[in-house]
């Protein structure tokens, strides 16, 4: 390789075709792979740890090494049996769109540099605004790296608009089921512990409106400034949607910012059932959604929507001299004015190309299918003597545990049994199924947002779980 990083055109093509072949084969043969892999730091070090090499080597050799040693040591989050955390089903068109965006190295910061990139972000943002019944004209938004960054961007904006420079008396509220990224964001923002109220949820994991009202009233009496509530739609644990309309009423009455974290559940708006569950979502001041989850996009793409786009520009716009020449007119948006990043990759392209190619109808069908699949799993488990539903199917999430009728196991025994089932499933590498804790119980959780997952995949996995459970119980009774 020359010092100028150049390959000949034929070398570039051959190298690129090889990579496309590998990716396409991966997509076509997903089912033949195991979703789970694991490795220790020691094992990884033994393969990779070395000083940066002074001399290079042929590109194909590096690629082969990567295909042999890097790719296999990643869980396959788009596998139909990857049930836990939040799967990353992705889609092929967007995968290629990302290659285009990177291949042409398109700068998605300012209008003048890439007017089409800015325009596509405006257009796709309009699609999203409309989807969530936000005002398309006044509203706006920005693509971010993910939901965490969207939540952070929202909370910076909320604080700026509601508190200005002095936030010493500001108080922010969220439930104990809110996603950890919100607490991280609050910490990044420099709030003290005394300024954060984490409120308990009811037996269905919703924020208790009574407790929220009490907390706000007490804080007012102390001379503090309740300025923001973070609702979940839905929670990552159980898919639960907070009572959005009630919260919106409170925020209006109290002059508080209403942020909704819909990173997990927002996309459910595309189905009728999901839209009913999300009623009131249009009343938020700001809304996080996460296209790299249930809008089937590859990592990374998150999104923040706001009711009034000037809130973002009033919060993030800074004008250094060297950017003077690229200031356009008002309608030509520089997305570096809407968030933290100046240099930004072209995230809108994959969202745009996948919706143009498949049509919104395909996305609606997929989301509807996912929600129905979780309902079907619930039905199946309710009819089983071995399994107990702990949190019913909600926005494609379901929590359950192995607790056979007639065995009269203690809570401790049930916890350790389910923990052990999960451990053995993971060890088999056949499915990714881990536990979470609900009401102090160890439960298994499925998040069924992959349209490739069928009820047969799930039946397979339950057969495996039943087999392990029987083995564990048999070993114990010896
Ligand atoms: C996943 C998730 C986040 C964080 O999003 P990232 O894209 O992982 O940064 C935030 N909130 C909720 C509810 C989530 O499910």
Q: Residues 164-177: what's their mean pLDDT?
A: 97
The response to whether residue 79 sits with its C-beta less than 6 Å from ligand 1 reads no
The response to whether residue 264 sits with its C-beta less than 6 Å from ligand 1 reads yes
Q: Residues 203-217: what's their mean pLDDT?
A: 97
The response to whether residue 238 sits with its C-beta less than 6 Å from ligand 1 reads no
Ligand 1 centroid from CA 166, angstroms: 29
The response to whether residue 302 sits with its C-beta less than 6 Å from ligand 1 reads yes
The response to whether residue 152 sits with its C-beta less than 6 Å from ligand 1 reads no
Atom of ligand 1 nearest to the CA of 290: 7
Where does the pLDDT of residue 4 fall: very low under 50, low under 70, confident under 90, or very high at 90 and above?
confident
DSSP state of 87: -
Claim: this prediction has a pTM higher than 0.85: yes
The response to whether residue 290 sits with its C-beta less than 6 Å from ligand 1 reads yes
The response to whether residue 177 sits with its C-beta less than 6 Å from ligand 1 reads no
Considering only CA atoms, which of 264, 302, 305, 273 is closest in space to residue 143?
302
pLDDT for 477: 85
Ligand 1 centroid from CA 239, angstroms: 12
Ligand 1 centroid from CA 291, angstroms: 10
Ligand 1 centroid from CA 149, angstroms: 9
Cα separation, 38 vs 61, whole angstroms: 24
Where does the pLDDT of residue 330 fall: very low under 50, low under 70, confident under 90, or very high at 90 and above?
confident
pLDDT for 328: 64
Ligand 1 centroid from CA 354, angstroms: 22
Considering only CA atoms, which of 218, 221, 223 is closest in space to residue 168?
223
The response to whether residue 265 sits with its C-beta less than 6 Å from ligand 1 reads no
Question: CA 81, 86, 92, 95 torsion: positive or negative?
Answer: negative
Task: Give CA 202 to chain center in angstroms.
Answer: 24
Cα separation, 20 vs 17, whole angstroms: 5
- The Cα-based distances of 318 to 152, 201, 260, 269 in angstroms read 18, 40, 27, 35
Ligand 1 centroid from CA 237, angstroms: 11
Residues whose CB is less than 8 angstroms from the CB of residue 455 and which lie 6 or more positions away in sequence, other chains included: 373, 376, 377, 380
Where does the pLDDT of residue 327 fall: very low under 50, low under 70, confident under 90, or very high at 90 and above?
low
Mutate which of 147, 201, 261, 267 for ligand 1? The one with the most ligand atoms within 8 Å of its CB, which is 147
Contact 394, 268 (CB under 8 A): no
Where does the pLDDT of residue 5 fall: very low under 50, low under 70, confident under 90, or very high at 90 and above?
confident
Mutate which of 85, 87, 90, 148 for ligand 1? The one with the most ligand atoms within 8 Å of its CB, which is 148
Please report, in angstroms and rounded to a whole number, the separation of the first and last CA atoms in the chain: 65
Token look-up 């990884």 returns: 44
Long-range contacts of 167-170 (CB under 8 A, 24+ apart): 167/191, 167/195, 167/227, 169/223, 169/224, 169/225, 170/195, 170/224, 170/225, 170/227, 170/228
Backbone angles phi, psi at 233, to 5 degrees: -145, 90
Instruction: Provide the mean pLDDT of the chain.
Output: 96
Atom of ligand 1 nearest to the CA of 146: 7
Contact 226, 171 (CB under 8 A): yes
Considering only CA atoms, which of 6, 100, 15 is closest in space to residue 64?
15
The response to whether residue 259 sits with its C-beta less than 6 Å from ligand 1 reads no
Nearest CA to ligand 1 atom 6: 147
- DSSP labels, 198-249: EE-B-TTS-B-HHHHHHHHHHHHHTT-EEEEEEEEBS-TTT--B--HHHHHH
Where does the pLDDT of residue 389 fall: very low under 50, low under 70, confident under 90, or very high at 90 and above?
very high
Nearest CA to ligand 1 atom 12: 263
DSSP reduced 3-state for 72: helix
Mutate which of 178, 181, 291 for ligand 1? The one with the most ligand atoms within 8 Å of its CB, which is 181
pLDDT for 108: 98
Question: In the predicted model, is pLDDT for residue 326 greater than 70?
Answer: no
Cα separation, 170 vs 192, whole angstroms: 10
Q: Residues 398-425: what's their mean pLDDT?
A: 97
DSSP reduced 3-state for 255: coil
Ligand 1 centroid from CA 292, angstroms: 10
- The Cα-based distances of 8 to 11, 260, 404 in angstroms read 5, 50, 65
Peptide bond into 234 cis (omega under 30): yes
Task: Give CA 352 to chain center in angstroms.
Answer: 19
Considering only CA atoms, which of 341, 297, 302 is closest in space to residue 110?
341
Where does the pLDDT of residue 90 fall: very low under 50, low under 70, confident under 90, or very high at 90 and above?
very high
pLDDT for 290: 98
Where does the pLDDT of residue 323 fall: very low under 50, low under 70, confident under 90, or very high at 90 and above?
confident
Q: Residues 331-340: what's their mean pLDDT?
A: 95
Question: In the predicted model, is pLDDT for residue 2 greater than 70?
Answer: no
pLDDT tens per residue across span 128-148: 999 999 999 999 999 999 999
Ligand 1 centroid from CA 50, angstroms: 34
pLDDT tens per residue across span 259-297: 999 999 999 999 999 999 999 999 999 999 999 999 999
Atom of ligand 1 nearest to the CA of 292: 7
The response to whether residue 86 sits with its C-beta less than 6 Å from ligand 1 reads yes
Where does the pLDDT of residue 1 fall: very low under 50, low under 70, confident under 90, or very high at 90 and above?
very low
Question: In the predicted model, is pLDDT for residue 3 greater than 70?
Answer: no
Nearest CA to ligand 1 atom 10: 147
């Amino acid at each position: 390789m020359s010092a100028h990083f150049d390959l000949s055109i034929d070398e570039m093509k051959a190298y690129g075709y090889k990579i496309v072949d590998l990716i396409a084969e991966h997509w076509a043969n997903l089912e033949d792979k195991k979703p789970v892999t694991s490795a220790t730091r020691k094992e990884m070090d033994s393969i990779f740890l070395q000083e940066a090499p002074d001399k290079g080597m042929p590109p194909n050799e590096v690629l082969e090494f990567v295909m042999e040693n890097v790719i296999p040591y990643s869980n396959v989050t788009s596998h139909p049996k990857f049930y836990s955390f939040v799967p990353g089903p992705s889609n092929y068109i967007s995968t290629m769109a990302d290659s285009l965006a990177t291949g042409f190295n398109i700068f998605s910061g300012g209008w003048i540099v890439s007017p089409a990139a800015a325009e596509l972000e405006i257009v796709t943002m309009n699609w999203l605004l409309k989807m969530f019944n936000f005002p398309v004209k006044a509203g706006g938004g920005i693509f971010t790296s993910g939901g965490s960054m969207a939540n952070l961007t929202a909370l910076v904006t909320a604080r700026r608009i509601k508190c200005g420079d002095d936030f010493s008396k500001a108080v922010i509220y969220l439930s104990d089921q809110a996603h950890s990224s919100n607490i991280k964001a609050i910490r990044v923002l420099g709030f003290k512990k005394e300024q954060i109220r984490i409120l308990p949820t009811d037996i269905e994991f919703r924020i208790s409106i009574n407790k929220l009202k009490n907390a706000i009233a007490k804080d007012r009496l102390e001379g503090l400034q309740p300025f923001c509530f973070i609702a979940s739609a839905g929670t990552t644990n159980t898919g639960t949607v907070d009572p959005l309309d009630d919260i919106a009423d409170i925020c209006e009455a109290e002059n508080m910012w209403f942020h909704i974290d819909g990173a997990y559940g927002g996309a459910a708006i595309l189905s009728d059932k999901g839209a009913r569950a999300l009623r009131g979502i249009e009343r938020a001041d700001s809304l996080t959604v996460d296209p790299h989850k249930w809008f089937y996009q590859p990592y990374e793409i998150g999104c923040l929507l706001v009711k009034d786009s000037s809130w973002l520009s009033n919060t993030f716009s800074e004008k250094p001299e060297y950017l003077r020449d690229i200031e356009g007119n008002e309608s030509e948006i520089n997305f570096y004015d809407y968030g933290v990043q100046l240099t930004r990759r072209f995230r809108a392209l994959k969202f745009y190309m996948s919706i143009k190619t498949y049509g919104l109808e395909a996305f609606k069908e997929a989301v509807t299918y996912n929600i129905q699949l979780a309902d079907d799993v619930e039905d199946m488990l309710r009819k089983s003597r071995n399994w107990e539903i702990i949190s019913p199917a909600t926005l494609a999430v379901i929590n359950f545990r192995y607790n056979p009728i007639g065995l009269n196991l203690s809570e401790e025994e049930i916890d350790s049994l389910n923990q052990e089932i999960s451990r053995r499933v993971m060890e088999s590498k056949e499915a990714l199924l881990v536990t979470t804790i609900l009401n102090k119980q160890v439960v298994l959780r499925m998040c069924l947002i992959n349209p490739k997952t069928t009820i047969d995949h799930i039946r397979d996995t339950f057969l495996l779980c039943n087999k392990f459970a029987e083995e564990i119980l048999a070993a114990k009774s010896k």
